[in-house]
Amino acid sequence: MANKFGATSTTDEVLIGVNLKGKRILVTGVSAGLGVETSRTLAAHGAYVVGAARDLAKAEAATKQVREAATDNGGGFELIELDLANLASVRAAADALLAKGELFDVVIANAGVMATPFGHTADGFETQFGTNHLGHFVFVNRIAKLIRDGGRLVNLSSSGHRFSNVDLEDPGFEHTPYEPFVAYGRSKSANILFAVAFDARHRARGVRATAVHPGGIQTELGRYMPPEALQNMVAQINQQLAAEGKGPFEFKTVPQGSATSVWAAVVAQADEVGGKYCENCHVSTIVPDETPLGMLNEGVRSYALDPKNAEALWKKSEELVGETF
């Protein structure tokens, strides 16, 4: 299909003329940033959105505009509790949804953490891998039968996947020094690989899975980064851009950052995005592993789309969480 959208497109722009009345969409991480904007624009086009968050009080305050958009446009909105860093919470949330038995047209796995200090989830997993990947792995797989035939899964990944492939021999940094962005990279590669493997398992019934990079955005995701670290990263990117004769880096707005999630969820053709990695409202191409890490460089590394790598991660993830899907 012809694609008229790009890096500066917003959620409202990609949904012009799209009617989502009758659609049920689940979005994780709705207490701030991208999750709130994604939910708002979907509800504003008539969708019934189920928002998942660890801190319900915070999410309740943050999603006032989502409820207003739903009320004004024939959509709906409700909150459920989900702490991705605690598998007891993950399983309880999934069980509650299964008990209700209401189907979803789309699941958007939006929640995540970035560059955290070394730590562990409630179940003993390294914080970023445990929260960003394993929490969603268990949650999505447990509710997979609630995704309607022809539905879709959208995993939020990042260009940060280029920091590292997954390490299935040492996922918890027990034998290698901990580096916050290496851990982030592992978890974001896992988000893509999970989409690849989920897509392979469910495409026979028309359910497709994709992973997206929202772009460089200033949200709560960066709360663990010292201000000077972000400044240094942007300075390095600007040096690179200047050497290429380009202008300085500009952060995306939250509506621009949420646009690719929305586009991949309800605008793009299923066969176009299924099993792929998307950014700037289009499917990305594979780039060599030596491609710079900068936030402006498009493309996905081959290890993140490798079906064998995806299957190995799936098997290791099942082993770690003690469940087979």
Selection from 253, 264, 250 nearest residue 153 by Cα: 264
Per-residue pLDDT reduced to its tens digit, 57-70: 999 999 999 999 99
Confidence band of 187 (pLDDT split at 50, 70, 90): very high
- Name residue 77's beta-bridge partners: 49
pLDDT at 291 over 90: no
- Nearest Cα neighbor of 155 from 5, 40, 303, 279 is 279
The pLDDT score that the predictor gives to residue 223 is 58
pLDDT score for 298: 82
Q: What is the mean predicted confidence (pLDDT) over 28-50?
A: 97
Torsion region of 305: left, alpha or beta (phi above 0 gives left; psi -120 to 50 gives alpha): alpha
pLDDT band for position 290 (cuts 50, 70, 90): confident
pLDDT in tens, 209-261: 999 999 877 655 555 656 666 666 666 666 766 776 766 667 789 999 999 99
Q: How far apart are CA 212 and CA 256, in angstroms?
A: 13
Q: State the DSSP string of 241-282.
A: HHHTT-PPP-PBPHHHHHHHHHIIIIIS-HHHHTT-EEETTE
Answer for the pair 44, 72: CB distance below 8 angstroms, yes or no.
yes
Average pLDDT on 277-301 reads 82
Q: Could you give the count of Cα atoms lying within 13 Å of 118 in the half-sphere of its Cβ?
A: 9
25 forms bridges with which residues in the sheet?
A: 49, 106
Q: Tell me, what's the pLDDT at 2?
A: 46
Checking if the pLDDT of 312 tops 70, the result is yes
Active centre residues (catalytic): 157, 184, 188
**How large is the average pLDDT for residues 6-11?**
94
Positive or negative: CA dihedral 184, 188, 194, 197: negative
Instruction: Give me the pLDDT at residue 222, please.
Output: 53
Q: Residue length, the chain?
A: 325
Residue 317 has pLDDT above 80, yes or no: yes
- The burial of 314, by beta-carbon neighbours within 10 Å (0-12 exposed, 13-18 middle, 19 or more buried), is given as buried
What percent of the chain is predicted at pLDDT more than 70?
A: 88
In sequence order, what are the residues at sequence separation of 6 or more whose Cβ sits closer than 8 angstroms to the Cβ of residue 16?
A: none
Of 62-66, 288-292, 307-311, where does mean pLDDT reach its minimum? Answer: 288-292
* CA–CA gap between residue 147 and residue 207 (Å, rounded): 8
Confidence (pLDDT) at 245: 72
Residue 152 CA to residue 266 CA, distance in Å, equals 8
Q: What is the distance between the alpha carbons of residues 79 and 95, in angstroms, rounded to a whole number?
A: 15
What pLDDT does 224 receive? 60
Instruction: Please report the pLDDT score of residue 1 as a whole number.
Output: 43
In sequence order, the β-bridge partners of residue 279 are 213, 282
% the chain with pLDDT above 90: 82
pLDDT of 118-167, one tens digit each? 999 999 999 999 999 999 999 999 999 999 999 999 999 998 999 999 99
In this structure, is the dihedral angle defined by the CA atoms of residues 7, 301, 156 and 192, taken in order, positive or negative?
A: positive
Q: How many helices (H) and strands (E) does the chain have?
A: 12, 10
Q: Nearest 5°: phi and psi at 212?
A: -130, 150
The two tokens of residue 258 are 């949420």
Q: What's the rounded mean pLDDT across residues 185-213?
A: 98
Domains assigned to the chain:
11-223+253-317 (3.40.50.720)
One-letter amino acid for residue 278 of the chain:
C
